[in-house]
Amino acid sequence: MTNTLNPDTLVVKSGTSWTDAWQRCLTVAPEAFRDDRVLNLWGAAWQADGRALPATSPVDGSPIAGPPRLDGATAQQAVRASLDQHRAWRHVPLAERRARVAATLDALTEHRELLALLLVWEIGKPWRLAQADVDRAIDGVRWYVDGIEPMVDGRAPLDGPVSNIASWNYPMSVLVHAMLVQALAGNAVIAKTPTDGGVACLTLACALAVREGIPVTLVSGSGRELSEALVRAPEIGCVSFVGGRDTGAAVATAVADLGKRHVLEQEGLNTWGIWNYTDWDALTAVVPKLFDYGKQRCTAYPRFVVQRELFDEFLAAYLPAVRTLRVGHPLAVEHPDDSYPVLDFGPVINAAKAKELHDQVAEAIDRGAVPLHRGKLSDARFLPGQDTAAYVQPVTLLNPPPSSPLHHAEPFGPVDTIVLVDTEAELLAAMNASNGALVATLSTDDESTYGRLAPQIRAFKVGHGKPRSRGDRDELFGGFGASWSGAFVGGELLVRAVTQGPAGERLPGNFPDYHLMP
C-alpha cells in the first residue's frame, strides 16, 4: 500500500538514510559488520556464521540487515564458551568491572545518535523516543556503576552466565541495560537478538562493550531452535525473558522444571479506570502521551474502564486529544536540513502486525464493537509513493465482544478499547480481565476510594490519575498473575536477581511455590 494523498515535498532528512547508518556502522565497528550482514558474537570473537535472513524496515519497507540465524548445535557451543568467560569474569575485582562498564557507557554516549538512528530504521521509533531509549540505557547503568558496592556486598555471581531473551521494542533501555548490570554484578551475559528487529543496534552496542572487555555473547536464531541452549542448558545460571505470554509460558515451564533462576516479564492487559472523576483536563493532557511508540510497550494502557454515567464527559475529554496524534515516517522532513519531525509514533513493527491489527478491529466491529474514532492514513506524514503497509492510525472501540482478542489481550498497537461499568465490582472485574498486569491506573477524585480499590487491582504498580512506567534506577518492577514469573527487578532487586546471597534466601518475586513482595 502506498500513500498518494500527501504533498510531494517531503524528503528523508540529510544523512539519516539506512545506507548512511550502515556505512557509519562499518566505520565505527568493522569487526562486527560486513558489507552485506552483521556477525554473531560468541567465543569472544565475531563469527561469520549463521544464515542471514532478509529483512525490511517498518519505516518504508526497504531492505535492511537481517539476523544471522544459528542452529541449535552452534548455540550450544556459544553457551559453553560463555561459561568459560563467566568463570574468569566472576573473579575480576569489582573496581575493574566498574571501570570497564563505565568505559562502555562512555562509548555508547559517543555513538548515541547512530544507535538511535538504527532504532528508527529497525523498529520504527520516532527520533525523540529512539534517543530516549539509548539515553535511558546509559543513564540507568551509570546509576548502578555509582552505587554497586552495597548491592553486591555479601553476594556472589551466579554459577553460570545470564541468558537474555527480549522483545524487539526496547533494545537499549531494557536489553542492553540488563546485560551491562548483569556483567557489572560479575556475570558473563548472553543475548539473543529479537527476531523482529534491532539486530544492528544491538550488534553495535555489543561491539563497543566487547572492546572494553565485557564478556558478551550475541547470537541470532529462532526461539524454538535455540531454546534448548539458551533456556535449558545446564551452563545457564539465570534466564531473563521479556515478551508475550505464549512464549513466556513455555520458558516458565522449562525453568520451573529445571529449578533455574529466572526473570520472566510477560504481557498483561494494563487498564485505566475512571470512577467518580471530574479532572477531565488532566485526562486530555495525558491521552497523547499514552500513544507514544504506538502503544508498542509493556506498560502501555490499551483499555479504559469507564463509569457509565461519566461516559459522555470521558468522550469529551478523550476524543479531542486522540485527534491530535501525529503519525508518519520518522525521518520525513520538508527540507533536507530540517530538524527531525515531532511525531507520537511511526509504523508498527512490521506489515504483518499492521494487518493483524486491521483484521482484529474489523472483526470486532463486525461482531458488535462500536468505532468511536478511526484515524485516516491520509492524515499522516509520508514520503511521496512510500510503502505504508506497516502503519496503523489510532483506533478506539467501545465494548469489544468477548470473542475478540481485543477484549482480553494486549493489542500491542495503537488500538484503544473502552468498557463501560456500573458498579465498583464491575470496575474491578474489568480492570483485572487478563489475570494480572504490570501497571494500572485509577482516576477518581476521592482519595479514600482510591485507597480502597487500588489494592484490589491486580497490577504491580497502580497510579492515581497518572500513568505508571517500568521505571529507572531504584524503582522496582514486577507483575501479578500471568504477567510475571520469577524474581522482580529494578534497583537493588535487579542485582539480587543475578547474584547469589545467603543459603536459603528467597528472592522477592512471583514463583511457582511462593509470591513475595519487596
SS3 305: strand
pLDDT on residue 5: 39
With beta carbons less than 8 A apart as the criterion, state whether 392 and 362 touch: no
Per-residue confidence of the chain (518 residues) as pLDDT tens digits? 444 434 568 999 999 999 999 999 999 999 999 998 999 999 999 999 999 999 999 999 999 999 999 999 999 999 999 999 999 999 999 999 999 999 999 999 999 999 999 999 999 999 999 999 999 999 999 999 999 999 999 999 999 999 999 999 999 999 999 999 999 999 999 999 999 999 999 999 999 999 999 999 999 999 889 999 999 999 999 999 998 877 777 887 788 778 889 999 998 899 999 999 999 999 999 999 999 999 999 999 999 999 999 999 999 999 999 999 999 999 999 999 999 999 999 999 999 999 999 999 999 999 999 999 999 988 899 999 999 999 999 999 999 999 999 998 899 999 999 999 999 999 999 999 998 999 999 999 999 999 999 999 999 999 999 999 999 899 999 998 889 999 999 999 999 999 999 999 999 999 988 999 99
Instruction: Provide the 3-class DSSP secondary structure of residue 217.
Output: strand
The rounded distance, in Å, linking the Cα atoms of 210 and 218 is: 11
Q: Residue 1: what pLDDT?
A: 40
The three cell numbers of residue 446 are 476521592
The secondary structure of residue 507, as a DSSP letter, is: -
Q: Nearest 5°: CA angle at 208, between 203 and 211?
A: 120
| pLDDT for residue 2 | 41
* H or E stretch covering 243: strand 238-243
Within 13 Å and on the Cβ side, how many CA atoms surround 443?
23
- The CA-to-CA distance between both ends of the chain, in Å, stands at 50
Contact residues for 128 (Cβ-Cβ < 8 A; gap 6+): 340, 342, 343
Q: What angle do CA 203, 207, 212 make, to 5 degrees?
A: 150
Q: What DSSP assignment string belongs to 434-493?
A: TS-EEEEEEE-S-HHHHHHHGGGS-EEEEEESS------TT--B--SGGGEEEE-BSTHH
* Residue (of 336, 402, 38) closest to 205 by Cα position: 38
SS3 string of 19-56? HHHHHHHHHHCCCCECCCCECEEECCEEECCCEECCEE
Residue 154 identity:
G
pLDDT tens track for 135-179: 999 999 999 999 999 999 999 999 999 999 999 999 999 999 999
Q: Look-up: residue for cell 463501560?
A: 420
> What pLDDT was estimated at residue 253?
78
CA angle 510, 516, 517 (to 5 degrees): 100
Let me know: does 503 contact 474? Beta carbons within 8 Å.
Answer: no
Phi, psi of 399 (to 5 degrees): 55, 70
